[in-house]
Structure 1
Amino acid sequence: MTRPWTPQPLDREARFYVAGHRGLAGGALWRHLQREGFTNLLGRGSQELDLRRDGDVRAFFEREQPRYVVLAAARVGGIAANAAEPVEFLSDNLRIQVNVLDAAHTVGVERLLFLGSSCIYPRLAAQPITEDSLLTGPLEETNKAYAIAKIAGVMHVQAMRREHGHAWISAMPTNLYGPGDNYDAQSSHVLAALIRRFDEAVRSGGRRVTNWGTGAPRREFLHVDDLAGALVALLERYDDDSPVNVGTGSDLTIAELAELVAAATGYAGEVAWDPSRPDGTPRKLLDVSRLHALGWRHGINLEAGIAATVDSYRRGRDQS
């Protein structure tokens, strides 16, 4: 059994592996760790290390011997991508999770954080959603395969704690946005899709933008830079079986979100909605009281965060 762990600051010189360090969440964590003075960070792109290949993952862990691990690598995407490729979303994520967690166990990783998703909760869970809502009702059909994989990851961490005594934890972030997001027309999430759509209308002189669904569902959004700070706080302060929700504790309708994006991009035309397209879960607001009790709260206002994200998107677009 692994020796008992007590809350303490992370060793800034320890080997720290961020799986998925080039993604939205992993990239934000990587930048945060660099700012916080971590000097021994480990990161590998998918071309260097395919986390779906068990032998390669085990060899990497045996060679590098990380003390800390955050598993932020995953196959992700919006409603359209989930609907088109449920096999890949289930299979790839299960392989990634099992390979990383098993390899981490083999080399005795001291602290590991598995990054899940708020989509693990039932479609009609009581709002705001508490961590104990997990497995109490049917999932949202539009991303069920992805959710099942993430639920398996949470349960794998819990099993590692019970059977082997590892001080490993899971965090369930709400909808994320910020630098490094995926703006692909087919696989992006809602906020990134809105930014791309409104920006394209501004550049083309379009006077009408049509968005998916009715605009009525309510969503919560967290800037990835805030997420990064929360993850380090959890690694230093939290040790329990239960996953921890990471969010802001407030939400808005997709229609209201579209208004913020339109303002940030300078779009002044008509905003329309296509109800033939899926809305997804009616509401998804996380209860973040457990995280607040640990002394952490988000710091980036949504309006300011969207404006900064639009600027980041446009700089990247102009450079490509």
Structure 2
Amino acid sequence: MSVRRVLGHYFAVRDNLKEARFLVAARTPASFNPDSGLEELWLEHERIARGGRCDDNCTRSFLDLKIEIARRIFSKCSLCPWMCGVDRSVGRGHCGVGDPHVASEFLHHGEEEPLVPSHTIFFAGCTMDCVFCQNWDISWDPSAGRYIPEDELASVIEERRRDGSANVNFVGGDPTPAIPYILRVLSRVSVNVPVVWNSNMYMSGDALGLIMGVADLYLTDFKFGNSDCAERLAGVRDYFEVVSGNHLMVSSEDMIIRHLVLPGHLECCTKPILSWIAENLGEETVINIMAQYRPLYRAAEHPDIYRYPSMAEIREARRWALKLGFENIL
């Protein structure tokens, strides 16, 4: 099956043959009381997500409901597995993000071919602490860039789409801490544009639940094939369980999985990840085996990754993917 068929929903929205999910969510009726408890709001969210109809007092939308839930979570944050529980309007959790800062936004011509030109919006801050981060200057500095009012960023998204963007691509750092803000921005966007969720996927079930029904394509970054490497090199717990579980949650959605080949990590990371994807998501999954690793930031502190991956390692990664039967390797 070709990439275009596997990513059929995304291409249909990109080409204005289908409506973006955030626009559908904005006109899907919902009934909820802002004074209701968070658990009650989630029950209404689940009912609508499963296709339930709103028959009376439907003055709100599904997107409004997501925004209200996200507002509650912002005051006791549970958007990632750190579960800091802080009120981010007055304090900071592990990611250090309060009101999200946009480090940069532009039409990106270096993404995967189906996504170009991609309107990439880079958020500062991240849910992980990778010692080799290729975007370390914004990932490790939540104050990089500036806060952009929601109406202003929505206007920029609309303008970029009119100028020919194929999508709006929320990235970072990682966009997960910015979910409440992103939902508010999308509620102000009126043009049809596919939403690309470009994330490390180290996020909570709550965060993913809010994004599902809004994102049109998941551009994921599956880094580590086990949690030990992740804890040593990215400072996170339970990585493989969290990230693989989140991939399973969106397995029926349009998705491109990126894997950055780390030097010396073929057997512990690259091969286990590719094998897991083939077994659990299928050989038709669109994957991008990336050779762009460079020993940046604090990689010098870890001798096993303080070099470029060899051509032999890159060839072996691709050979393994072909052996597993992957049909769509970008």
Q: TM-score, normalised by structure 2?
A: 0.34
Q: Which has the higher contact order (CA 8 A, sep 6+)?
A: 1
- Greater percentage in helix: 1
